[in-house]
């Protein structure tokens, strides 16, 4: 069998452009082979039960599968195909095939290496493979297996282009080998070898011509065991002598873990290539493999741009906050217009934080919104003893809650709750560079309580799995952006959900007034009743290290994280401000010098509480709402003090680097290091899910809380780039690595 044209990356003393290079025959010596980066495709799982929908095909490059620093590089190239189709590839020529449900086989060419489409149509064949159990190909031979173990064999007359004739040369043959392949956990082809995985054992059979003179048809000859004890149910061969596996677990932080091995003898090469790869994985396996040049950083597509500035050791100091006794905010109508003349009550929710029965909120001050809806309150110079204690216990950061309520001109009760914080002492500012969190603009939302002032707590454990929060928590993928502002704790809200539709009428523009009898008249108190609590591991940071680098994330001595709070006053939850959690923990957690090709989030255990709040005047309930908020760091009995979270290496690599802003890029010289130790991190979406609600979190960087990277000693620049600014600006939030 003769092989031609394999898409590869060429290594050399310097980075070379991606080209189409003649591949070597299967028997080529390693020194003659130039293939070390193999296109690898993941047919991602369906996201809906609707058979009319589509699934995503995502392209990766498995860089150096025979080296100890293997990596699955996300090329950021995707395509969508019907979820009823079957997708397969092989042969190393960039040709992919789709077997449709309506009796067609479509050939495509992957042109992404030269800037084209992932699926460029080549030819459509009238072949019905829709009922096949599995389809394997090396480009020239197609093995179509049925559920009963029978196998049809087809020959492609033009394997390198996919536009030839597909001719059936064997019809319905069956043997112990074909039956075993059909019943296997997974199967794949590499050159003339068919390999399959069943119950942790990998076996192989060789595809050889029946007639050596004509080579018009082939059959499978012999069975050889090449590996045992494989802890996976899916595997693939990027090339001869190499094997990669994917393990699926119930833990979304570790599922989809990819490991690499060599065969003959069976040896593990890299036990943590990447996690979070979920779906059907297939490699465009070529005829040979070699190790990449270790001096060349992995890349795909366009060679990296070598322009940028050296990394500075520390960011500028303009992000340091100043102490202040004044807190501010703005309350608006649902349409964003000001809500003037509303009383605002500011309380200290951390007073009595561990109470298990009803307590009164501690009021630290009251004020009124101005004509533009804004309000301002200066805290007393000497705080009440209980408030001062709550502040001291939280590392000098005082958590506050501002509440405004009233009734629209149409008679609908409205409520707004803002979580904010204040830092009044310079010592606390010095210890918490992140600074206070206030000055938010918060919309009033309907407070749909019944005549007795009750509001139903709709959460039920039986429906939690249907919520957005559960989907995020149980997915190995990290959500892009922030969590939805509005969420249901029983299901998923429709995209056009409008909280201001009350009895068929939109009240977002109705003027809101305080009641004729002001809420503050008579004896009025806000009563808090803890409903439930739970310890949840919460994302507090992440660190990234690409080629020839090590990642470190440190979280020491005290908390320095703000977590979003959630309010329910009308049946669904809305995310509000954030609560600062700055308690002393007296321990150091995180990870140190992990890599290369390592990027993981880090999580710590935080106790959360759901509270029922009722504003009561002279025995009459005026308003009711629920609130979810963090309390403190608290490791569960027998549980981890902190743990590694989801894989975020999909945000590293050359494709992401090429899309980044040049102004946000910096580089490290060999052996250098850089760290974020000022300012705040980005908001990590889906940082925690609590009773059906998904909330984000940020961490303040300081001497005890930092993201750090250390470059190795290989020659060349070690590039990093910030998400929101350069590493030296103090505004990066988080930085990534190439």
Per-residue pLDDT of 40-82, as tens digits, reads 999 999 888 888 899 999 999 999 998 888 999 999 999 999 9
Say yes or no: 157 and 279 in one domain: yes
Phi, psi of 85 (to 5 degrees): -85, 165
Q: Considering the chain, what percentage of its residues have pLDDT values greater than 70?
A: 90
DSSP line for 198-253: ETTEEEEEEEEESSTTT---EEEEEEEEEE-----SEEE-SSTTEEEEEE--S-TT
Q: What pLDDT sits at residue 8?
A: 30
Residue 315 scores a pLDDT above 70: no
DSSP state letter for 147: T
Asked if residue 419 lies in contact with residue 439, where contact means CB atoms within 8 angstroms, the answer is: no
Domain boundary among 283, 305, 330: 283
Higher pLDDT, 212 or 705: 705
Among 13-17, 74-78, 329-333, 416-420, which is the least confidently predicted range? 13-17
> How many CB atoms within 10 Å of residue 20?
13
Q: Is 297 contained in some domain?
A: no
Asked if residue 239 lies in contact with residue 288, where contact means CB atoms within 8 angstroms, the answer is: yes
Q: What pLDDT sits at residue 321?
A: 60
Q: Is 305 contained in some domain?
A: no
Say yes or no: 270 and 354 in one domain: no
Say yes or no: 352 and 207 in one domain: no
Closest CA to 72 of 652, 720, 702: 652
Q: Is 545 contained in some domain?
A: yes
Q: What pLDDT sits at residue 4?
A: 30
Residue 15 scores a pLDDT above 50: no
Q: What pLDDT sits at residue 80?
A: 97
pLDDT single digits (tens) 243-302:
999 999 999 999 999 999 998 889 999 999 999 999 999 999 988 999 888 888 888 876
Residue 518 scores a pLDDT above 50: no
Q: What pLDDT sits at residue 307?
A: 62
Half-sphere exposure of 710 (CA within 13 A, CB side): 10
Q: Is 301 contained in some domain?
A: no
Say yes or no: 257 and 351 in one domain: no
Q: What pLDDT sits at residue 706?
A: 94
Helices (H), 453-497: 468-474
Mean pLDDT, range 156-162, rounded to an integer? 96
Residue 521 scores a pLDDT above 70: no
Q: Is 135 contained in some domain?
A: yes
Say yes or no: 382 and 526 in one domain: yes
Asked if residue 436 lies in contact with residue 423, where contact means CB atoms within 8 angstroms, the answer is: yes
Mean pLDDT, range 427-451, rounded to an integer? 77
Say yes or no: 323 and 268 in one domain: no
Q: Is 124 contained in some domain?
A: yes
> How many CB atoms within 10 Å of residue 216?
11
Q: Is 253 contained in some domain?
A: yes
Neighbour-count burial for 557-586, b at 16+ CB within 10 Å, e otherwise: bbbbbbbbbbbbbbebbbbbbbbbbbbebe
Say yes or no: 574 and 648 in one domain: yes
Say yes or no: 241 and 347 in one domain: no
Total number of domains in the chain:
2
Q: What pLDDT sits at residue 677?
A: 87
Q: What pLDDT sits at residue 554?
A: 97
Residue 167 scores a pLDDT above 90: yes
pLDDT single digits (tens) 21-38:
223 233 344 568 888 899
SS3 538: strand
Asked if residue 196 lies in contact with residue 230, where contact means CB atoms within 8 angstroms, the answer is: no
Q: What pLDDT sits at residue 305?
A: 64
Q: What is the residue whose two structure tokens read 């860089």?
A: 63
Say yes or no: 511 and 563 in one domain: yes
Q: Are β-strands 512-513 and 398-408 bridged in parallel, bridged antiparallel, or unpaired?
A: antiparallel
Higher pLDDT, 451 or 582: 582
pLDDT single digits (tens) 538-595:
999 999 999 999 999 999 989 999 999 999 999 899 998 999 999 888 889 999 999 9
529/541 Cα distance (integer angstroms): 32
Q: In the predicted model, what is the mean pLDDT of the chain?
A: 89
Mean pLDDT, range 392-402, rounded to an integer? 93
CATH number at residue 65: 2.115.10
Alpha-carbon dihedral sign for residues 272, 277, 282, 288: negative
> How many CB atoms within 10 Å of residue 530?
17
Residue 520 scores a pLDDT above 90: no
Residue 7 scores a pLDDT above 50: no
Q: Considering the chain, what percentage of its residues have pLDDT values greater than 90?
A: 74
Domain boundary among 283, 304, 333: 283
Q: Is 25 contained in some domain?
A: no
Higher pLDDT, 323 or 262: 262
Say yes or no: 563 and 630 in one domain: yes
Say yes or no: 270 and 339 in one domain: no
Q: What pLDDT sits at residue 710?
A: 97
* Structural domain boundaries enclosing 421: 317-737
64/369 Cα distance (integer angstroms): 62
DSSP line for 341-358: T-EEEEE-TTTTTT--S-
Residue 491 scores a pLDDT above 70: yes
pLDDT single digits (tens) 459-484:
888 899 999 999 999 999 999 889 99
Say yes or no: 279 and 345 in one domain: no
Q: What pLDDT sits at residue 434?
A: 54
Higher pLDDT, 383 or 214: 383
Q: Would you place residue 428 in the very low, low, confident or very high pLDDT band (cuts 50, 70, 90)? A: low
Q: Are β-strands 326-332 and 359-360 bridged in parallel, bridged antiparallel, or unpaired?
A: unpaired
Q: What pLDDT sits at residue 522?
A: 62
Domain boundary among 283, 299, 329: 283
């Amino acid at each position: 069998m003769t092989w031609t044209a394999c898409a590869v990356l060429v290594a050399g003393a310097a980075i070379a452009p991606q080209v189409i290079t003649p591949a070597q025959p299967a028997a080529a010596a390693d020194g003659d082979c130039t293939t070390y980066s193999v296109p690898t495709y993941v047919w991602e799982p369906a996201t809906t039960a609707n058979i009319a929908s589509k699934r995503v095909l995502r392209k990766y490059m498995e860089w150096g599968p025979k080296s100890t620093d293997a990596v699955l590089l996300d090329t950021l190239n995707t395509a969508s195909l019907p979820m009823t189709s079957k997708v397969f590839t092989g042969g190393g020529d960039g040709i992919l095939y789709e077997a449709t449900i309506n009796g067609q086989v479509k050939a495509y060419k992957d042109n992404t290496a030269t800037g084209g489409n992932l699926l460029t149509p080549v030819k459509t064949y009238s072949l019905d493979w829709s009922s096949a159990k599995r389809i394997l190909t090396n480009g020239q031979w197609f093995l179509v297996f049925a559920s009963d173990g029978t196998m049809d064999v087809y020959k492609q007359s033009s394997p390198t282009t996919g536009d030839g004739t597909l001719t059936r040369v064997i019809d319905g043959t069956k043997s112990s080998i074909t039956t075993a392949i059909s019943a296997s956990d997974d199967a794949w082809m590499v050159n003339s070898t068919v390999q399959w995985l069943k119950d942790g054992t990998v076996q192989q059979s060789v595809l050889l011509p029946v007639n050596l003179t004509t080579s018009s048809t082939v059959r499978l000859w012999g069975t050889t065991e090449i590996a045992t004890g494989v802890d996976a149910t899916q595997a693939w061969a990027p090339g001869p002598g190499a094997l990669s596996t994917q393990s699926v677990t119930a833990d979304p932080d570790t599922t989809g873990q990819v490991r690499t091995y060599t065969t003959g003898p069976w040896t593990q090469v890299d036990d943590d290539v990447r996690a979070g790869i979920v779906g059907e994985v297939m490699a465009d396996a070529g005829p040979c493999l070699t190790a990449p040049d270790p001096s060349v950083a992995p890349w795909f597509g366009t060679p990296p741009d070598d322009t940028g500035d050296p990394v500075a050791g520390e960011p500028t100091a303009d992000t340091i906050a100043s102490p202040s006794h004044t807190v501010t905010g703005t309350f608006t109508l649902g349409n964003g217009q000001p809500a003037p003349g509303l009383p605002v009550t500011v309380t200290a929710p951390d007073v009595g934080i561990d109470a298990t029965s009803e307590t009164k909120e501690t009021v630290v001050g009251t004020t009124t919104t101005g004509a533009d809806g804004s309000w301002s309150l200066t805290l007393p110079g000497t705080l009440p003893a209980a408030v001062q204690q709550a502040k001291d216990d939280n590392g000098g950061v005082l958590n506050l809650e501002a509440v405004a309520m009233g009734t629209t001109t149409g008679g609908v009760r409205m409520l707004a709750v803002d979580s904010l914080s204040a830092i009044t002492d310079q010592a606390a500012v010095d210890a918490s560079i992140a600074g206070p969190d206030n000055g938010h603009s918060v919309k009033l939302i309907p407070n749909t309580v019944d005549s007795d002032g009750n509001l139903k707590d709709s959460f039920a454990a039986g429906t939690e799995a249907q919520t957005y929060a559960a989907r995020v928590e149980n997915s190995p993928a990290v959500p892009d952006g922030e969590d939805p502002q509005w969420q249901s704790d029983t299901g998923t809200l429709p995209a056009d959900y409008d909280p201001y539709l009350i009895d068929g009428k939109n009240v977002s523009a109705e003027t809101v007034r305080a009641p004729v009898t002001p809420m503050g008249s008579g004896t009025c108190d806000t009563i808090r009743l803890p409903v439930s609590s739970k310890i949840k591991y919460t994302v507090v940071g992440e660190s990234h290290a690409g080629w020839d680098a090590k990642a470190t994330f440190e979280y020491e001595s005290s908390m320095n994280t703000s977590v979003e709070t959630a309010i329910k006053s009308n049946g669904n939850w809305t995310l509000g401000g954030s609560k600062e959690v700055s308690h002393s923990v007296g321990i150091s957690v995180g990870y140190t010098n992990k890599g290369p090709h390592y990027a993981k989030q880090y999580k710590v255990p935080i106790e959360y509480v759901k509270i029922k709040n009722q504003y009561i005047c002279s025995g009459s309930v005026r308003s009711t709402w629920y609130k979810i908020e963090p309390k403190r760091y608290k490791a569960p009995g027998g549980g981890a003090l902190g743990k590694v979270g989801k894989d975020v290496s999909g945000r590293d690599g050359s494709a992401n680097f090429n899309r980044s802003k040049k102004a946000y890029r910096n580089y490290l010289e060999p052996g250098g290091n850089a760290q974020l130790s000022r300012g705040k991190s980005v908001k990590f979406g889906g940082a925690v899910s609590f009773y059906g609600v998904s909330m984000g979190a940020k961490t303040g960087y300081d001497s005890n809380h930092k993201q750090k990277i250390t470059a190795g000693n290989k020659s060349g620049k070690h590039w990093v780039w910030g998400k929101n600014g350069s590493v030296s600006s103090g505004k990066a939030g988080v930085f990534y690595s190439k």
